[in-house]
Amino acid sequence: MSEVHGRRINPLDIPIIKIASETHLMSFDNKYALFKMELKALRGKDKYEMIHMSLKREEVFEDSFENFMSRSGEKLRGKLKIEFQD
């Protein structure tokens, strides 16, 4: 707990916007937690499917480019799972 102008405040009562504007005063762990919260808020409740890619090591650029170009922007929001072929 901190004291401001003679009264105790709970850090959890401080609006998140006020905290976010003072990032230079935050530890790395708190900045990371704030970043994760903001990402979660941007995503909302939407769940995106995992994007599976099977790429040849010798042609990784060409294969990945083809995979990305064949998908819509909305589908590219999912997490990537890449499997390399030998």
Name, in order, each residue with C-beta under 8 angstroms of 37's C-beta and a sequence gap of 6 or more.
Answer: 16
| 7 vs 2, higher pLDDT | 7
Q: Are 18 and 12 in contact (CB under 8 A)?
A: no
Give this prediction's pTM.
0.45
* pLDDT, tens digit, 9 for 90 and up, residues 44-65: 666 778 888 999 989 999 999 9
* pLDDT, tens digit, 9 for 90 and up, residues 13-36: 556 555 556 666 677 887 888 888
